Copies of this chain bind each other. A is one copy, B any other.
Amino acid sequence: MAMLTRRTMLATGAALAAAPAFAKPSPIDHIKAIHQKLVCLDTHLDTPANFARPGWDIMERHTPEEFSQVDYPRMVEGGLDGGFFAIYTPQGPLTPDGMMAARDAALLRAAEIREMVAKNGAHFELAFKPGDAARIAAKGKRIVYQSIENSYPLGTDVTLLRSFYALGVRLAGPIHFKDNQLGDSATDKSRTWKGLSLMGHDWLALCNELGIVPDASHSSDDVFDQMVAGSKTPILLSHSGCRAVHDHPRNIDDARLKKLADTGGCIQINSLSAYLIDTPDNPEREKAFEAIYAKLRGLSDMTPADAKKAMAQVGLAIKALSAKYPQPRATFEDYMTHMLHALKLVGPEHVGVGADWDGGGGVTGMEDCASNWKITARLIKEGYREDDLQKIWGGNALRVLKAADDARAKPAAAAAPPGGGGE
């Protein structure tokens, strides 16, 4: 938490740019030391999907080959202090059965996040308020904010968002890969609602009322525009890229990025390869991969041994498919090209990190959160100072969270306070 002086930082940056061989400690160790002093948050961690995997333990070290990019040992190594752990729900059918199944699973996932923290209370702590990040980091613990990726589980009852708030959710996105009851997806050409649905507008108003940060990643441009126009507090793009660098609907164009910044919001750069660089469309490949990934779901009913076996089989199948359908893979420099573009366009007050670990993120040269320090190294090389780095690595996201929390409606006297005196 202690800050280097800017003078030291600038000197360091200059030294690093020249990469002097005589430096002691080594430049990399020096950068890592600077990086470790920052409180680093990632605003989109899909890691909770692993929590119900039998035998999976966040306190043990895993590898990307085991479909894992975040665990405690690698968070420590990569200087990742925490972030927003997502309650992610794949988009299912817009039917009562589909919505109920999604709701039940999302509420269970929320409980699983809290269970992970309860189980590992010496190393993790739940965060609810903007100030909790610094408080928890000062104790040497990892910071667990909660978020929703896809509000489909709310079904037709937007007020269920209140329950998720009560459980700790402070960041929420309305939509995922396909249009749903709340609005249109960036990756769905139907344009069902031409933006947010009526329920989507209610959802946005309720986010503001509760103090939840609205997250426009995965939303269509129309939805983004309506969220920026309609929200009383700044919008976050929890894991997105720049369309000016690579034209993909999951990325944002420069005009909208400026609008986002002008309204106090922030883009957190995603490391999902297919959004960073041009990769040929291959529906056959996608279908084959989707079938493989589907096998990863429902592991929770297996024994640890069976789950391990199933995951190994999926690993082999993915290796085979990757050989059958070769595809270019983005590099760390591609990732940084998106980040540096955003930084140049809107400045270090409006850019951050949302690498989509355990949700598709990862580029050659930055395969998991253990490599997070490389972003710091690259930014120092570009001349960014420590106060900029702290903003990028979480300060901006916390500023957006603070704006949401400050605007939170004063809670009414609870109608039915729980606890005590039950008979």
| Interface set of A (CB-CB < 8 Å, partner B) | 46, 49, 52, 67, 86, 88-93, 95-98, 100-111, 114-119, 121, 149, 152, 157, 159, 162-163, 165-167, 176-177, 272, 290, 293-294, 296-300, 356, 358-360, 412, 414-423
Question: Which one, B96, B118, B415, contacts A116 given CB within 8 A?
Answer: B118
Q: Would A107 and B417 be within 8 Å (CB), given that A121-B119, A360-B422 are in contact?
A: no
- Name the residue among A162, A356, A422 with the largest chain B CB count within 10 angstroms: A422
CB pair A92–B52 under 8 Å, yes or no, is: no
CB pair B293–A49 under 8 Å, yes or no, is: no
CB pair B296–A419 under 8 Å, yes or no, is: yes
CB pair B412–A97 under 8 Å, yes or no, is: yes
CB pair A422–B149 under 8 Å, yes or no, is: yes
Q: How many copies does the complex hold?
A: 2
Least CB distance, A66 to chain B, in whole angstroms:
13
Q: List chain B residues, Cβ under 8 A from A176.
A: 422
27 A-B pairs whose Cβ atoms sit less than 8 Å apart in the complex: A67-B420, A86-B422, A88-B418, A88-B419, A89-B416, A90-B416, A90-B421, A91-B416, A97-B412, A98-B415, A100-B415, A102-B416, A105-B166, A107-B166, A108-B167, A109-B418, A111-B111, A111-B114, A114-B115, A115-B115, A118-B118, A118-B119, A152-B416, A157-B157, A297-B420, A298-B417, A300-B419
Which 7 A-B residue pairings sit nearest by Cβ, starting from the closest? A92-B416, A296-B420, A293-B421, A88-B422, A115-B118, A360-B423, A98-B415
Query: Which residue in chain B gives the minimum CB-CB distance to A119?
Result: B118
Question: Which one, B49, B163, B415, contacts A419 given CB within 8 A?
Answer: B49
Least CB distance, A296 to chain B, in whole angstroms:
4
Q: List chain B residues, Cβ under 8 A from A106.
A: 418
Query: Which residue in chain B gives the minimum CB-CB distance to A113?
Result: B111
Q: Would A359 and B422 be within 8 Å (CB), given that A415-B95, A415-B98 are in contact?
A: yes
CB pair B420–A49 under 8 Å, yes or no, is: yes
User: How far is A406 from B149 in the complex, measured between Cα atoms in Å?
Assistant: 36
Besides A103-B163, A107-B166, 9 new A-B residue pairs in contact (Cβ under 8 A), listed by A number: A88-B419, A92-B415, A92-B416, A93-B416, A100-B159, A104-B166, A111-B167, A118-B118, A294-B421
Query: Which residue in chain B gives the minimum CB-CB distance to A102?
Result: B416
Q: List chain B residues, Cβ under 8 A from A177.
A: 423
Q: List chain B residues, Cβ under 8 A from A163.
A: 103-104, 107-108
Least CB distance, A44 to chain B, in whole angstroms:
9
Query: Which residue in chain B gives the minimum CB-CB distance to A156?
Result: B157
Query: Which residue in chain B gives the minimum CB-CB distance to A314?
Result: B420
Query: Which residue in chain B gives the minimum CB-CB distance to A250?
Result: B423
Q: List chain B residues, Cβ under 8 A from A358.
A: 422
User: How far is A419 from B113 in the complex, measured between Cα atoms in Å?
Assistant: 13
Q: List chain B residues, Cβ under 8 A from A110.
A: 111
CB pair A422–B49 under 8 Å, yes or no, is: yes
Question: Which one, B100, B109, B299, contacts A162 given CB within 8 A?
Answer: B100
Query: Which residue in chain B gives the minimum CB-CB distance to A86?
Result: B422
CB pair A419–B360 under 8 Å, yes or no, is: no
Least CB distance, A48 to chain B, in whole angstroms:
9
User: How far is A32 from B167 in the complex, measured between Cα atoms in Å?
Assistant: 42
Q: List chain B residues, Cβ under 8 A from A93.
A: 415-416
CB pair A422–B166 under 8 Å, yes or no, is: no
